[in-house]
Amino acid sequence: MSVTVPARTGNPSAPGAIAAGLLAVAALPAGIALAQISARVKLLQAAAAIPVAAVLGMVALLFARRALRRSRRTLGRAGGEGAARAGWILGVLGLCIAASGAIAVGFYELLVHYQ
């Protein structure tokens, strides 16, 4: 009697969480670097990267949640739990960077308005 082992299908959401998290963390610094390099892009215009970082951070959190659920549902056979946790951490960090950028731009606008 032979026992067939089901094929390992993997957990594609785990690397997706890492990719989205890395992009979320890099979005705002990339916008600032672009503003420093380019003569056409001003620093305040680099604030357009704030919502990009926030959206990518949320995407990373959603992918990480999906990957962790899949790993738990398959009792760890799907794998990717460590990558999902790393993606979750990167997503939270991306959201924190986006929030701090939004606060900085908000205070800048207040200071310019009440000058």
pLDDT in tens, 20-54: 999 999 999 999 999 999 999 999 999 999 999 99
d(CA 57, CA 52) in angstroms, rounded, equals: 8
pLDDT of 17 > 70? The answer is yes
* Mean per-residue pLDDT over the chain, rounded: 91
pLDDT of 8 > 60? The answer is no
pLDDT of 4 > 70? The answer is no
| DSSP per position, 11-80 | -THHHHHHHHHHHHHHHHHHHHHHHHH-SSS-TGGGGGHHHHHHHHHHHHHHHHHHHHHHHHHTTTTT--
How many CB atoms are located within 10 Å of the residue 93 CB?
17
